Amino acid sequence: MLSEVVSRNHRHLEYWQRPETQWSVSTWDKYLFQKTGTKKRQMSRSALILEVEILIEHLDPKSREHIKALALKRQLKVSIFTRS
């Protein structure tokens, strides 16, 4: 469960209230498209990295959510170099 501090800092709290097992770059892209209608990959990834940074900063480093946020951050770094 996300802390109140994390909850107040996210623009897309609805997404992060899902179980962390459902967090991924592809589910984020689908969520953002449904919420905003944007199909721009760069815009989606920019928003995601900001959200992930908030998670990393505020979550307990031993929590499953924190570990998943770190994994997402690594995926985003890789995706910058492997554009399709």
Domain boundaries, the chain: 4-81
Could you list the beta-strand ranges (E) of the chain: none
Write the single-letter amino acid at 46.
S
With beta carbons less than 8 A apart as the criterion, state whether 38 and 69 touch. Answer: no
For residues 50-77, give the mean pLDDT. Answer: 93
Of all helices (H) and strands (E), which one includes residue 12?
Answer: none
Predicted confidence (pLDDT) per residue in 5-56, tens digit: 666 777 888 899 899 999 999 999 999 999 988 788 889 999 999 999 999 9
Cα 82 from Cα 49, distance rounded (Å): 16
With beta carbons less than 8 A apart as the criterion, state whether 61 and 41 touch. Answer: no
Answer with the residue of higher pLDDT: 78 or 77: 77
